[in-house]
């Protein structure tokens, strides 16, 4: 199978069928249309992403799922005639043309109508007829139509379209009184005078402009701009401003955090110094003023264990001598901000007598399958050599894939090789069965081995499903992080208080972002579900500056310029606030009106370890509802790249390729 056919197949499985779209004719039609031919050439690599993409004339090619959903709602038959309003790229017209006998499609932008016409012709679609004009008036010369689909959002259902429906015909259109969001509506013509109407759910489309749509001027100057004029002022009044991280007064923040036991600190990129430094500042106060004793971060367990050993006086250097964090992206943890924080933690622990009060440092991530295997075997060799031999044989099942875990996923799907699930579960079970015996000798070492064995179990499942279920493996990763958090809490005692450092996309509640439509959850959501108000979620953001990131997976770290934020983003609103740095409480806002106005969804930027400014909108922005995503938001208008300890990198597993969050 070619690359695009492969991606198209995955799109059908995971974007359409997984969401309950089972219409055979629609699935076949979508399978037959090469979407890559309908997107701008510089965005071809995103052709099968679960999202709308920009095309010429400031318009969009709709998200594949929406095209499929609307087509299914039309209940189109092979002998029928369909009308589409809003040709755009011509993609949806091609999908319709795979099912219907004739397709008529109208576009109000000449450039789009002309391009779509010749594109469809080149692809051999002889049953599609493209007209340049106002589609809200329909195409009376070719009426009646058995099905009409409108691909732009209007204020009402245009009367002319209803009148051009055949008896029994279906009209599917997004309708809404705001330019931002609409309800997808299906109108069915019962007879000459009667129509039936059903709601099919909330959607977001570009505006339908025309005689029975929005007026051109209103649509071009959205009401939103008016809100954005006042929103930065509201944020200014509802936030606490500060000039420098080392001088910011965090007393009010500590009060807002109150008795929360889990504080999750985010970051909008994996390579911004201010995010590390501010998280260190807040964590120090949580440790000193609120008795937090655990820091858990988005790093692999064995790597974080070196920092833990250092801050407990067992190892002499946290980041350099033992060379942890040597997997790509090294700069994420092997950087000067983390080193400084590790020294602070060590100093803090050195001044405490009680072991229980000392702070520990843990890794929540699961990309260390083989070093975790080594750690488990090393432990068992010391405490129980016979069990170590059994474990060595069982873990041997995974060894053929030590250079390329991506292959493990592929060979187990095709059943060429056996799965290692049973083996890794059995090793963890054996270890847990001897908890009392083993942990008598050294509880900390047992806990370390137990977590590594748990990691191996979860990583095996993660890699096994990575190839064919992208969102499922994301969920497995975040579930592993949450499971590890719970193990840490169980280990440190029921009153344990934990600070978590992870990317915003992990710690901000997934239900308030586009992730949830893809069936994805994250540790922020799981923490809220489990701990309610005892979990406090803090997101971070920036407008411009520099960031440490790579251009591709496994590539060298570069210091890149962060582009000024997108006009429709939360970042742009924050950038327009007339102060540079601030803390914005969202759970208990200083003014309710600010929170209320922030509820309207906007774009939000996420930079992982890869940053691609050239395709920033597609690669790094998603829709979110900020006040539902976070309990508090911390803003730095201008930021700078973290300083790595070493420039060495070794290629790691392409875990969250291509964006590495
Ligand atoms: N179906 C398209 C595709 O597959 O690429 C996506 C369409 S895009 C979401 C909506 C299109 O509707 C835009 O190209 C816009 O110019 C067009 N449009 C808006 N109002 C229109 C009108 N009154 N008549 C015709 N086209 C209109």
pLDDT tens digits for 585-619? 999 999 888 998 898 888 999 999 999 998 888 88
Question: What ligand 1 atom has the least distance to the C-alpha of 105?
Answer: 25
Residue 393 pLDDT more than 90? yes
What is the CA(512)–ligand 1 centre distance, in A? 28
Question: Is 95 inside a domain boundary?
Answer: yes
- The answer to whether residue 582 sits within a structural domain is yes
77 and 180 share a domain? yes
Whether 10 and 151 map to the same domain: the answer is yes
Average pLDDT (494-502) is 94
Residues 191 and 69 in one domain: yes
Q: Verify that 11 and 95 share a domain, yes or no.
A: yes
> Which atom of ligand 1 approaches the CA of 135 most closely?
24
CA dihedral 502, 504, 505, 506 (to 10 degrees): 40
Q: Cα(30) to centroid of ligand 1, in Å?
A: 19
Q: State the average pLDDT for the chain.
A: 89
For residue 240, what are the domain limits? 229-292+497-642
Same structural domain for residues 221 and 278? no
Looking at residue 54, what is its pLDDT?
Answer: 87
471 pLDDT more than 90: no
Nearest CA to ligand 1 atom 25: 107
Instruction: Read off the DSSP letter of residue 516.
Output: G
Q: Is residue 357 part of a domain?
A: no
Say yes or no: 467 and 522 in one domain: no
What is the pLDDT at residue 342? 94
d(C-alpha 625, C-alpha 528), whole Å: 16
Asked if the structure places residue 127 within a domain, the reply is yes
Does 327 reside within a domain? no
CA of 152 to the centre of ligand 1 (A): 6
CA-based nearest residue to 97, from 125, 135, 63? 125
Give the CA-trace dihedral at 106, 108, 112, 115, to 10 degrees.
Answer: 50
From ligand 1's centre to the CA of 130, what distance in Å?
Answer: 12
Report d(CA 270, CA 503) in Å as an integer. Answer: 7
Q: Name the residue among 479, 599, 611, 606 with its Cα closest to residue 556.
A: 611
Do 420 and 537 lie in a common domain? no
- Closest-CA residue, ligand 1 atom 14, reads 88
Kindly state whether residue 334 falls inside one of the protein's structural domains: no
Domain of 106, CATH number, reads 3.40.50.150
CB of 299 closer than 8 Å to CB of 318: no
Whether residue 135 has pLDDT greater than 90: yes
Global pTM reads: 0.68
- What is the tens place of the pLDDT at every residue in 90-107? 999 999 999 999 999 999
| Protein residue whose Cα sits closest to atom 2 of ligand 1 | 88
Q: Which two tokens stand for residue 172?
A: 């599917």
State mean pLDDT over 346-369: 93
- State in Å: Cα 88 to ligand 1 middle: 5
Whole-number pLDDT of residue 618: 85
Q: Distance from CA of residue 383 to its chain's centroid?
A: 42
pLDDT score of 326: 77
Residues with CB under 6 A from ligand 1: 59-62, 85-86, 88-89, 91-92, 106-109, 112, 134-136, 151-152, 205-206, 208-210, 213
Helix H or strand E encompassing 215? none
Residue at 211 is within a domain:
yes
CB 319 within 8 A of CB 307: yes
Q: Which of 545, 651, 602 minimizes the C-alpha distance to 269?
A: 545
Whole-angstrom distance, CA of residue 63 vs CA of residue 461:
30
DSSP for 259-298 reads: T-SEEEE--SSSSBHHHHHHHHHHHHHHHHHH---EEEEE
Contacts of 215 (CB under 8 A, 6+ apart): 209
Residues 631 and 544 in one domain: yes
For the CA of 55, the closest atom of ligand 1 is 5
Last residue of one domain, picked from the residues 432, 461, 489: 489
Confidence of residue 645 (pLDDT cuts 50, 70, 90): confident
Q: What is the length of the chain?
A: 661
Residues 225, 572: Cα–Cα separation, whole Å: 12
Query: Does residue 225 or residue 60 have the better pLDDT?
Result: 60
Which of these three, 179, 199, 228, is where a domain ends?
228
Atom of ligand 1 nearest to the CA of 88: 14
Using most ligand atoms within 8 A of CB, pick from 151, 160, 184, 215 the residue to mutate for ligand 1.
151
Of 455, 489, 523, the residue that ends a domain is 489
CA distance 75 to 153: 21
Q: Please tell me whether residue 649 adopts helix, strand or coil conformation.
A: coil
Pull the structure tokens for residue 526: 């799981």
- pLDDT of 224 reads 40
> Do 515 and 464 fall into the same domain?
no
Kindly state whether residues 84 and 181 are assigned to the same domain. yes
Q: How many domains does the chain have?
A: 3
Round to whole Å and give the CA distance between 329 and 338: 14
Question: Based on the number of CB atoms within 10 Å of its own CB, is 513 exposed (0-12), middle (13-18) or buried (19 or more)?
Answer: buried
Active site residues: 62
For residues 204 and 258, state if they share a domain: no
In a domain, 177, yes or no: yes
CATH number at residue 568: 3.40.1660.10
Task: Tokens for 181, please give them.
Answer: 């969001």
> DSSP 3-state assignment of 319?
coil
508 in the same domain as 456: no
Residues 174-226 have pLDDT tens digits of: 998 766 668 899 999 999 999 999 988 778 788 899 988 888 755 544 444 34
Distance 85 CA to ligand 1 centre (A): 6
List, for residues 437-469, the tens digit of each pLDDT value: 888 888 889 999 999 999 999 999 888 887 665
> Which residues on adjacent β-strands are paired with residue 61?
53
Give residue 315's pLDDT.
79
Nearest CA to ligand 1 atom 12: 86
**What confidence tens digit (pLDDT) does each residue in 220-272 have?**
444 443 434 479 999 999 999 999 999 999 999 999 999 999 999 999 999 99
Of ligand 1's atoms, which has the minimum distance to the CA of residue 86?
Answer: 12
- Percentage of the chain beyond pLDDT 70 is 93
Beta-carbon contacts of 396 under 8 Å, excluding residues fewer than 6 positions away, are none
Contact of 506 with 481, CB cutoff 8 Å: yes
Higher pLDDT, 86 or 226: 86
């Amino acid at each position: 199978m070619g690359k695009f056919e492969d991606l198209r197949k995955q799109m059908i499985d995971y974007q359409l069928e997984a969401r309950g779209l089972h219409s055979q004719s629609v699935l076949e039609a979508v399978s037959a249309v090469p979407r890559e031919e309908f997107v701008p050439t510089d965005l071809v690599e995103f052709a099968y992403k679960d999202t709308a993409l920009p095309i010429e004339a400031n318009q969009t090619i709709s998200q594949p799922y929406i095209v499929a959903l609307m087509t299914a709602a039309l209940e189109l038959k092979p002998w029928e005639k369909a009308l589409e309003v809003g040709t755009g790229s011509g993609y949806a017209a091609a999908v319709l043309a795979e099912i219907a006998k004739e397709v008529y499609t109208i576009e109000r932008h000449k450039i789009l109508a002309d391009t779509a016409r010749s594109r469809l012709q080149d692809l051999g679609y002889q049953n599609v007829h493209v007209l340049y004009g106002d589609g809200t008036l329909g195409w009376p010369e070719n009426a009646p139509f058995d099905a009409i689909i409108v691909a732009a959002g209007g204020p009402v259902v245009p009367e002319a379209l209803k009148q051009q429906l055949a008896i029994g015909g279906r009209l599917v259109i997004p309708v809404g009184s705001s330019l931002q969001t609409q309800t997808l509506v299906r109108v069915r013509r019962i007879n000459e005078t009667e129509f039936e109407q059903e709601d099919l759910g909330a959607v977001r489309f570009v505006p339908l402009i025309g005689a029975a749509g929005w007026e051109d001027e209103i649509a071009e100057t959205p009401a939103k701009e008016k809100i954005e004029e006042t929103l930065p002022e509201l944020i200014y009044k509802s936030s606490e401003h500060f000039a420098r991280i080392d001088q910011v007064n965090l007393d009010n923040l500590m009060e807002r955090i109150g008795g929360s036991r889990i504080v999750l600190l985010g970051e909008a990129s994996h390579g911004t110094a201010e995010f590390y430094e501010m998280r260190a500042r807040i964590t120090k106060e949580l440790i000193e003023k609120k008795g937090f004793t655990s820091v858990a971060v988005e790093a692999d367990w064995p790597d974080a264990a070196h920092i833990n050993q250092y801050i407990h006086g067992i190892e002499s250097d946290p980041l350099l001598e033992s060379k942890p964090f040597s997997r790509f992206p090294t700069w994420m943890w092997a950087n000067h901000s983390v080193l400084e924080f590790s020294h602070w933690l060590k100093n803090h622990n050195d001044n405490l007598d009680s072991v229980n009060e000392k702070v520990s440092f843990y890794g929540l991530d699961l990309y260390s399958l083989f070093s975790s295997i080594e750690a488990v075997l090393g432990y068992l060799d010391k405490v129980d050599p016979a069990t170590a031999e059994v474990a060595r044989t069982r873990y041997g099942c995974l060894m053929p894939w030590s250079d390329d875990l991506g292959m493990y996923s592929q060979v187990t799907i095709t059943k060429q090789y056996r799965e290692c699930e049973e083996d890794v579960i059995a090793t963890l079970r054996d270890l847990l069965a001897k908890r009392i015996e083993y942990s008598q000798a050294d509880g900390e070492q047992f806990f370390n081995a137990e977590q590594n064995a748990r990691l191996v179990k979860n990583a095996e499942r993660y890699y096994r499903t990575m190839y064919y279920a992208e969102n499922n493996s994301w969920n497995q990763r975040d579930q592993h992080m949450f499971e590890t958090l719970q193990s840490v809490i169980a280990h440190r005692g029921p009153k344990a208080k934990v600070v978590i450092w992870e990317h915003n996309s992990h710690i901000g509640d997934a239900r308030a972002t586009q992730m949830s439509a893809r069936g994805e959850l994250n540790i922020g959501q799981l923490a809220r579900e489990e701990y309610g108000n005892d979990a406090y979620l803090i997101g971070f953001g920036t407008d411009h500056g520099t960031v440490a990131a790579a251009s591709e997976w496994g590539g060298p770290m570069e210091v890149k310029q962060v582009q000024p934020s997108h006009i429709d983003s939360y970042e742009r609103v924050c950038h327009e606030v007339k102060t540079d740095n601030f803390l914005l409480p969202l759970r208990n806002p200083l003014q309710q009106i600010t929170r209320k106005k922030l509820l309207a969804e906007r774009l939000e930027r996420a930079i992982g370890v890869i940053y691609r400014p050239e395709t920033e909108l597609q690669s790094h922005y998603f829709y979110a509802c900020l006040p539902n995503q976070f309990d508090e938001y911390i803003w730095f208008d201008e930021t700078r790249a973290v300083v790595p300890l070493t420039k060495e990198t070794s290629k790691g597993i392409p875990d969250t390729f291509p964006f590495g969050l």
